[in-house]
Structure 1
């Protein structure tokens, strides 16, 4: 993983995987970020909560990755939810892309599900 992004993954109750991404995601590291996210999902969770609240920058390659991730998980019958607070730097960009038409977009982890309290390990 480059210095631009950091990924922490935690297992939650009921086959839910919480993945927290901080830093920047752009063309330089989008493949590494995608691979790290998919590696975190190797236990085949039923649901994935992708927390981008501490992600400070997304370029078009990163946004395309999010759409492809949603599509791929959908084909695998896995639910994906994005967490991006309204005040997060990337929220306006995600709103403009209308990603919420493909994957639910939440303001906080607690809005996703009451069981979504991270605990576990870093990947």
Structure 2
């Protein structure tokens, strides 16, 4: 039991406190730090959150977008130093925890209804 408490206390130092509340179905813009040569830049990645996993320091979101007619999914570790910023652009109404069914859909069928329960930050 002591080991778990020690690990949890070390992890709390690295948890980000400025993250918005993210739900499955939301459209988010994630700023990802990318190293090119000696320079570092922030590349935006915008898409729909189709899955959320784990909790605490291991919390991840899977973001899906369509790029040049091909579906691209990326998994982001929320508390990673590589993730510079996360902004919720639109709240989506989802009735399930994982939206993997969106993988089989094309075009307008991938749209989700908008949720208006809380104002965006």
- Scaled to the shorter chain, the TM-score interval is under 0.3
Structure 2 length-normalised TM: 0.26
Structure ranking higher in strand proportion: 2
More helix by share: 1
Higher relative contact order at CA 8 Å, sep ≥6: structure 1 or structure 2? 1
Task: Answer with 1 or 2: which has the greater Rg.
Answer: 2
User: Could you state the TM-score of these two structures normalised by the residue count of structure 1?
Assistant: 0.26
